[in-house]
């Protein structure tokens, strides 16, 4: 394990008042304190073996930056931490530079999560978490997390999870979560991303691709505070791809509630296609869920299922959903959607999804595609995401 100095420097004068070097282990730990501001101290730890990775995560504290070198790592116990960073001095876990890093749970004991964060102000980025016997990556009651450019694939339960009360101001950006399947539950639980059983404001998912999971693409079951979901795609969920004779996966693209909560989630500029149930569903959440400029295409049930609540739907587009374009209760507010009277359905430029499955842009943004685009500035998903986020 190589450890080195990190130091925040203000431009201009560099009066390095204190530089404290603490010897610890072969490489030594150097705490660089800049300009009398101990809050700015960082410690960079570079790891290249599984044992080093496990140790670095277990001993991380505010300001620790863990850089993981290229390769595949096989933890033998859940990568777990209860430590917190601070808003100015987070704990960072990331691939070294542009190197490809896979963290693989196939050597974990049955039922183990691959990674579990129980602290605040973590930044985790540019890593793949795969093949766990249970959940891939679980964040519990955390504040201020940034989870960026992650892949959670082929795990034995949901790929990425936010849960617990006190889940506040977390950002999940550019997540790819696919192929997750819980064999023990015959597929009934494994979602691409689960934000379930908890509360807390300011949480956002953007730029996600959630596909080919046994249960739902996104699931907000019993999360009682509004979540913002935008520029994300859910597709191909709920299919029995595992030859499970007792398969019980659901297959909603965006499942926006359930379990008795009433909450007004905000759902803008997303797309759902080829899911085995609905594209977008309240799932018994009777709150004023707001849905603007989303597209539902070729789902097996309804494009937009909001049959009991007070959802507010505007400028959404539904095409070719076998169970109907929309199923809305009289209490919903529906305007300027293509099922509303007098609203034309623009032609889709492409119904070939190949490019939507392709590589992301260098920044981690969704791939460029004409799939499901119409050129309209009025209705339906743009199928892209703004730059410079
Ligand atoms: Ca389910
Ligand atoms: Ca689910």
Q: Is residue 53 part of a domain?
A: no
Give the Å distance between the CA of 188 and the centre of ligand 1. 4
Measure CA 285 to chain center: 21
Q: Is residue 380 part of a domain?
A: no
Question: Measured between alpha carbons, how far is 147 from 351 in angstroms, rounded to an integer?
Answer: 31
Q: Is residue 21 part of a domain?
A: no
Q: Is residue 81 part of a domain?
A: no
148 tagged catalytic: no
CATH number of domain containing 348: 2.160.20.10
Domain count, the chain: 1
Give the Å distance between the CA of 210 and the centre of ligand 2. 12
3-class secondary-structure state, position 356: helix
Q: Which of 298, 314, 311, 301 is nearest to 351 (CA)?
A: 298
Query: Which listed residue (100, 255, 327, 349) is catalytic?
Result: 255
Q: What is the pLDDT of residues 154-196, one digit of tens each?
A: 999 999 999 999 999 999 999 999 999 999 999 999 999 999 9
Question: Measured between alpha carbons, how far is 389 from 387 in angstroms, rounded to an integer?
Answer: 6
Instruction: Report the pLDDT value the prediction gives residue 385, as an integer from 0 to 100.
Output: 85
Which ligand sits nearest to residue 250's alpha carbon? 1
Q: Which of 196, 157, 160 is nearest to 180 (CA)?
A: 157
3-class secondary-structure state, position 218: strand
Number of Cβ atoms within 10 Å of the Cβ of 201: 11
Gyration radius of the chain over CA positions: 22
pTM score, two decimals? 0.91
Give the Å distance between the CA of 189 and the centre of ligand 1. 5
Which ligand sits nearest to residue 217's alpha carbon? 2
Q: Is residue 72 part of a domain?
A: no
Domain span at 191 = 135-357
What 3 state SS string does 284-347 have? CCCCCCEEECCEEECCCCCCEEECCCCCEEECCEEECCCCCCEEECCCCEEECCCCCCCCCCCC
Instruction: Report the pLDDT value the prediction gives residue 205, as an integer from 0 to 100.
Output: 98
Give the Å distance between the CA of 353 and the centre of ligand 2. 24
Instruction: Report the pLDDT value the prediction gives residue 41, as an integer from 0 to 100.
Output: 79
Which ligand sits nearest to residue 222's alpha carbon? 2
Cβ-Cβ contacts under 8 Å for 268 (sequence gap 6 or more): 228, 229, 230, 231, 290, 291, 292, 293, 294
Which ligand sits nearest to residue 219's alpha carbon? 2
Instruction: Report the pLDDT value the prediction gives residue 144, as an integer from 0 to 100.
Output: 98
Residues lower than pLDDT 70 in the chain: 1-40, 387-389
Q: Is residue 178 part of a domain?
A: yes
Give the Å distance between the CA of 214 and the centre of ligand 2. 9
Give the Å distance between the CA of 166 and the centre of ligand 2. 21
Q: Which of 308, 305, 247, 252 is nearest to 277 (CA)?
A: 252
Question: Measured between alpha carbons, how far is 236 from 346 in angstroms, rounded to an integer?
Answer: 24
Instruction: Report the pLDDT value the prediction gives residue 8, as an integer from 0 to 100.
Output: 43
- How would DSSP label each residue in 77-133? S-EEE-----SSS-EEEEESTT--EEEE-TTSPTT--SEEE-SSSEEEES-EEE--S
DSSP 184: T
Determine whether 319 is exposed, middle or buried from the number of CB atoms within 10 Å of its CB (0-12, 13-18, 19+): buried
């Amino acid at each position: 394990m190589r450890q080195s100095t990190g130091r925040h420097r203000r431009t201009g004068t560099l009066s390095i008042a204190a530089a404290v070097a603490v010897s610890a282990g072969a490489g030594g730990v150097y705490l660089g304190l800049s300009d009398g501001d101990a809050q700015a101290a960082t410690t960079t730890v570079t790891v290249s073996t599984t044992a080093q990775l496990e140790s670095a995560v277990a001993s991380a504290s505010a300001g620790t930056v863990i850089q993981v070198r290229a390769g595949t790592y096989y933890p033998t116990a859940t990568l777990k931490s209860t430590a917190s960073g601070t808003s100015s001095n987070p704990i960072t876990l990331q691939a070294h530079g542009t190197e490809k890093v896979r963290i693989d749970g196939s050597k974990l004991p049955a039922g183990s999560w691959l990674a579990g964060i129980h602290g605040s102000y973590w930044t985790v980025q540019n890593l793949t978490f795969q093949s766990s016997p249970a959940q891939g990556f679980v964040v519990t009651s955390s504040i201020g997390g940034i989870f960026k450019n992650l892949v959670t694939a082929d795990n034995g339960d949901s790929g990425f999870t936010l849960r617990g009360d006190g889940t506040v101001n977390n950002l999940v950006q550019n997540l790819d979560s696919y192929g997750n399947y819980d064999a023990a539950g015959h597929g009934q639980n494994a979602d691409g991303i689960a934000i379930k059983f908890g509360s807390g404001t300011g949480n956002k998912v953007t730029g996600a691709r959630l596909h080919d999971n046994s249960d739902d693409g996104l699931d907000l079951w019993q999360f009682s505070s509004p979540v913002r979901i935008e520029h994300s795609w859910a597709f191909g969920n709920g299919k029995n791809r595992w030859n499970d004779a007792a398969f019980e996966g659901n297959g909603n693209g965006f499942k926006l509630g359930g379990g008795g909560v009433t909450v007004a989630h905000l759902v803008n500029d997303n797309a759902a296609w080829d899911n085995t149930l609905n594209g977008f569903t309240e799932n018994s959440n009777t709150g004023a869920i707001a849905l603007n400029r989303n597209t539902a295409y070729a789902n097996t049930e309804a494009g937009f299922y909001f049959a009991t609540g007070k959802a507010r739907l505007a400028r959404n587009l539904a095409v070719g959903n076998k169970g109907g374009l929309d199923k809305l209760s009289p209490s919903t507010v529906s305007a300027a959607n293509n099922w509303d009277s007098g609203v034309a359905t623009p032609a889709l430029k492409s119904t070939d999804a190949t490019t939507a499955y392709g590589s992301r842009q260098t920044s981690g943004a969704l791939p460029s595609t004409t799939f499901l685009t119409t050129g309209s500035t009025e209705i339906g998903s743009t199928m892209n995401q703004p730059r410079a986020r």
